[in-house]
Every structure is written in C-alpha cells, then in structure tokens.
Chain A
Amino acid sequence: MQRPIVPFIKLPEGGGTPYLVGSRCKACGQVYVGTRRSCPRCYETGQMQEIRLSDRGELYLWTIVHQSAPGINVPYVAGIVDLPEGVSLRANVEGIEPKPENLRFGMPLELFFEVVRQDREGNEIVAYKFRPAAA
C-alpha cells in the first residue's frame, strides 16, 4: 500500500498520477493547500471548492538546512514554492547540489512524487518534492 505523508497528496485509486489537492474560496478567490471548511481571509464558510493544484511553480525563498533533527539527512534545500494559483508550499528542492550558487529566487520548478520511507506496517510513504523545471 502507498500512503501520502500529508493528507493533501491525492493518490488516485488504481495507480493514476498523484497530485496535490487545494481549495478555492468561491467568495474571495483565495486558494489554500488541502481541503478546508472556512476561509480565514474573508471569514466565509461553506464556500470552499476542491481543486487540483498546479505541478509547476516558482522558488520564492530558499534556505540550506545544515543542522536538523537526528535522522534527517543534511544539507538539503528547503524552500517556499509559489504556485500559479496564488498559494505557497513548503518543499524540498532536489536535483541540484545544495549550494547557494545553484539557487536563484524565482527559478522555475516542477513537482514530482517519491516514496521517501516505509512505515511500521510496511506501507510506502509518498511525498511531493520539487526540482528545477525542464526547459
């Protein structure tokens, strides 16, 4: 069995391509990661529409994490990725050496999914990540 590391990763039944789930507030247009009932921006409730988030984005900010909790491989690039819908995600940026000279604000990125570990029951845990977008 595959399981998502966070609930907003959708793993379609029967093995289709995974995607990220978001919601759009029909009252104010704000997009959020994941599903939700109410809008913390305009305070409306019951106006949320589930959407599929884009698989391309831009690197808004990045850091290179050199020290983390035991069991987490360092160094790695952690970023904030802006999606065209106007919502942002925390993500690892892979496919490049974690060095400042390899990173650029606004660089185009593409989403991919990867099995990152197994849980105690033997399920494969699926995460989303970004890498520099193919030209």
Chain B
Amino acid sequence: MRDVYVVGVGMIKFGRYPEMDIGELGGQAVHLALKDAGLSIKDVQMVASGNLYQTNMSGQRVLKEIGMTGVPVYNVANACASGSTAFREAYFAVASGAYDIALAVGTEQMGKMGLLGAPRDPSTSPEGVLGTGLMPGVFGMAGMEHMRKYGTTIEQFAKVSVKNHKHAIYNPLSQYQVELSLEDVLNSRMVSYPNTLYMCCPTGDGAAAAIVVSPEKARQLAGGGTLIKVAASALTTDPFTPRDLALADVNTMTRNCARQAYEQAGLGPQDINSVELHDCFATAELLHYENLELCGEGEAGRLIDSGATALGGRVPVNTSGGLLSKGHPIGATGVANICEIVWQLRGQAGQRQVPNHKAGLAHTIGLGSACAIHILTK
C-alpha cells in the first residue's frame, strides 16, 4: 500500500434544492473539487459515490451530468457513513496502486423527509407501539445512558448545539447560519427527550467531492504547496454488545475505529488540532468526545463546559457547524467532513480557522452499523 494525498475538495452549500437531482448536485461539487485540484474530469480514473436514498447508479448520474468518461464507478450505501465509505474506496483504489487519480463524491436529495426511517404506514409498523427505533429516540436514549452513568445534564447536551451553530456563522456553506442561545435551544420544542428541535440535525440536499491521488501526482499538482496526506482510514461495524439488538450501540464501533485510526496515523488524540464528528443529535457529540478519546470516561460534560471544543479551545470540534447546523444530506456528509479538515489544514477556513493546524480527524457513523474515521495530516 502506498501513501494517498487529497489534492482537491469542494462542496455546495447544503440546503434545499428541490429543482435539482443528485446528478446536478454532485456535478457541481465535483467541478469545484476538480478546479481546486487543477484537474479535469478526463483525468479521473475511478469514481466512488456515496448516497443512501437515490442509490441506484448515483455515481453514474453525476458522470452523465459532467462527463461520460467510461471509467469504473462504485456506488456505496452505508447509512450515514455512505460518503466516508466512498472516500475510503477512492483511497484504496489509489493506495493499492491500481489508479493514480480517484474521485469520491457524496450526494443526497432529501427534500423535507422529516423523521428518518419513519414508517410509511404506521398501522403495520411496531413503531410507537414497541418503543421507538427512530433516530431522535435512539440518540435521545444514548444521551440518557450518559446521564444515567455520569450525571450529564440537558444543559450540557444543549451547549453542543449552541457551539456548533456559532461555528456555522463563519461557514458560508452551512445550511443554517443562525446564532442560538442556550435558552433558544432548551426552549425549542421537544422532539425526543432530551433532544429538542435545535438539538436535532436538519434534513437537506447537498453534495461534496474529494480527489485523491498517488504521491507522484500529488507532488506534480501541489507545485510546492501544502501536501495533505490521508494518514489513516478506518471502518468498523458493531461488535456484539449485550443491548445492541434493542438499542443501537452508538459507542463501541467508534471506540474501535478511533483506536485503529490513531494507530495507523501514529498519532494520539492529543495530536489532533480539529475534529469533524457525527453530531446528528446534540447528545451524540458528547458521547463521541469520549469515544474519540478527546477526554476521559465520563468527562464529556465537563469538556463542553470548559470550552475546549469551541473555536479557540484546545481541540475545536465541528468547526464547520457540524451536522446540527451545516446540515446532513446523508451521502454528502462524510465527504463534506473531509473538505472541512482539508481547508483547516491548508489555512483556508477563514474566520473559523484553527491556528497551526497540522492534523485533523473526520468521523461519521451510520446506525445498523458503520463507523468511518479518516485522519488527514500535512
């Protein structure tokens, strides 16, 4: 396996684009990434496409929009980790030596889907009769487990949403750029205790793309500029844990994945300058502080209180605004996380720039289950 470098990234502002299909959404993101890399679609030798709800030939639909080059396309569906799984496929395509230039694209057209996974016909579904399997309830209970074990408070969870919305003010590509107070978050309508409306990520449409290349191509394209290396790529699923079949275990696969990623990169959590993690709900972010070893067991509440994970803190988390504010068009999310880390490493993150940024971590999880972590370094 050889080293792999990211030479181009791009994403469109997440939001609502009912008039555009995923080919158009993805095509725009790919054009941005190609321009960023100084490449043309003719140079791309392999495409990996992450998408969940329109998954039939999602990558080919992008190529039909911007260039029918005849190259191999892999379509990946891995729940909310679809985009990062696609990025990993592109990474392997280059790391293996099979291709020198590969494209990862993530797309999603969600419209106003509302609650993910809600039954079309509740009269034939156990949802609402045998508890809940919908995401707000699952992540609500995952937060309750942290409350039960460590006494974490609703205010501490709500602070995550305040922080990430504040970060998003500085990100023009974020779906929402609205500052929220702690009272705004706590007083918004309850969705599934303890997650209020502003503690749940929105649905939306979007696309993001990244181009990965061999070391030789990277040096040619960089022309003396910053080289960004994929220092780790890890993917895990749930190992057996006792309650996982009743309540999805949102922790263990991230812990396993983080351990593998830190080992591959030869880095520890203390070496990471910023993190893009899967804050689909405010409760999730605090759990992942511990899962990613940003703090010790049971310390996540104190970590958010301390301001360490806000811009200007020791390890800013979700400088992009995170899923809570930037948005979560499912297939695009994992690639968009990579975009943010690349911009941070290059010093292109504008007012949300983390100084002296040398290593960043991008994390996504999909329940059911998949967890992907990439560590990028310069």
Verify B132–A61 contact, CB threshold 8 A. no
Q: Given the known A-B contacts A64-B192, A64-B193, A73-B128, are A89 and B115 also in contact in the complex, defined by CB atoms under 8 Å?
A: no
Contact A5 B129 (CB under 8 A): yes
Q: Which residues of A contact B118 (CB under 8 A)?
A: 68-69
Number of interface residues of A (CB under 8 A): 42
Q: Is the CB of B127 within 8 A of A69?
A: yes
Contacts of A105 in B (CB 8 A): 144, 148
- Residues of B near A40 (CB, < 8 A) are 240
* Those of A57-74 within 8 Å (CB) of chain B: 60-73
Enumerate chain A residues within 8 angstroms of B127, measured Cβ to Cβ.
68-69, 72
CB neighbours of A32 from chain B (8 A):
245
Asked if B137 lies at the interface with its beta carbon under 8 angstroms from chain A, I say yes
**Chain A neighbourhood of B148, CB < 8 A:** 61, 105
In the complex, which residues of chain A have a beta carbon less than 8 angstroms from the beta carbon of B125?
A: 69
Chain A neighbourhood of B122, CB < 8 A: 69-72
Complex Cα–Cα for A92 and B119 (A): 17
**Chain A residues touching B, majority SS:** strand
Q: Are B192 and A62 in contact (CB under 8 A)?
A: no
Please list 23 pairs of residues, one from A and one from B, whose beta carbons are closer than 8 Å in the complex, sorted by A's number.
A6-B130, A61-B247, A62-B141, A62-B193, A63-B137, A63-B141, A64-B192, A65-B136, A65-B137, A67-B115, A69-B128, A70-B122, A72-B122, A72-B127, A72-B128, A75-B190, A78-B132, A80-B141, A80-B243, A90-B131, A90-B132, A92-B128, A116-B129
Q: Chain A contacts of B133 at CB under 8 A?
A: 90
Question: Which residues of chain A are within 8 angstroms of B136 by Cβ–Cβ distance?
Answer: 65, 67
User: Which residues, 80 to 104 on A, are CB-close (under 8 Å) to B?
Assistant: 80, 82, 86-92, 100
Closest to B136 in A: A67
Chain B contact residues: helix, strand, loop or mixed: loop
Say which residue of A64, A69, A70, A86 sits within 8 Å of B190 (CB atoms).
A64
B23 at the interface (CB under 8 A from A): no
Q: Which of B82-107 contact A (CB under 8 A)?
A: none
Q: Which residue of B lies closest to A41 (CB)?
A: B240
Bound-state Cα–Cα, A46 to B136, Å: 37
Not counting A64-B190, A88-B246, a sample of 10 additional A-B residue pairs whose C-beta atoms are within 8 angstroms of each other reads A40-B240, A63-B140, A65-B128, A66-B190, A68-B128, A78-B131, A82-B243, A88-B247, A89-B130, A105-B148
Q: Which of B211-264 contact A (CB under 8 A)?
A: 240, 242-243, 245-247
Listed from nearest, the 10 A-B pairs whose CB atoms lie closest are A72-B128, A90-B131, A69-B118, A63-B140, A71-B122, A88-B246, A78-B131, A78-B132, A64-B193, A41-B240
- Contacts known (A66-B191, A66-B192); A33 close to B115, Cβ less than 8 A: no
Does A117 lie at the interface of the complex (its beta carbon under 8 Å from any beta carbon of B)? Answer: yes
Q: Nearest chain B CB to A20's CB is how many angstroms away?
A: 11
With contacts A88-B247, A90-B246 known, is A65 near B132, CB below 8 A?
yes
Interface residues of B, Cβ cutoff 8 Å to A: 115, 118-119, 122-134, 136-137, 140-141, 144-145, 148, 189-194, 240, 242-243, 245-247
Q: Which of B122, B131, B136, B144 has the most CB of A within 10 A?
A: B131
The reply to whether B131 and A66 contact each other, CB–CB distance below 8 Å, is: no
Q: How far is the CA of A119 from the CA of B193 in the complex (A)?
A: 31
- How many Å from the CB of B85 to the closest CB on chain A? 22
A61 touches B144 (CB 8 A): yes
Question: In the complex, what's the smallest C-beta–C-beta distance from A64 to chain B, in angstroms?
Answer: 4
In the assembled complex, which residues on chain A have CB atoms less than 8 Å from the CB atom of B134?
65, 68-69
Q: Do B193 and A63 touch across chains, with their CB atoms under 8 A apart?
A: yes
Given contacts A90-B132, A100-B193, contact A80 B245 (CB under 8 A): no
Residue from the list A65, A71, A127 in contact with B123, Cβ < 8 A? A71
A80 to chain B, nearest CB (A): 5
Q: How far is the CA of A33 from the CA of B119 in the complex (A)?
A: 22
Bound together, the chains give a CA A70 to CA B126 distance in angstroms of 14
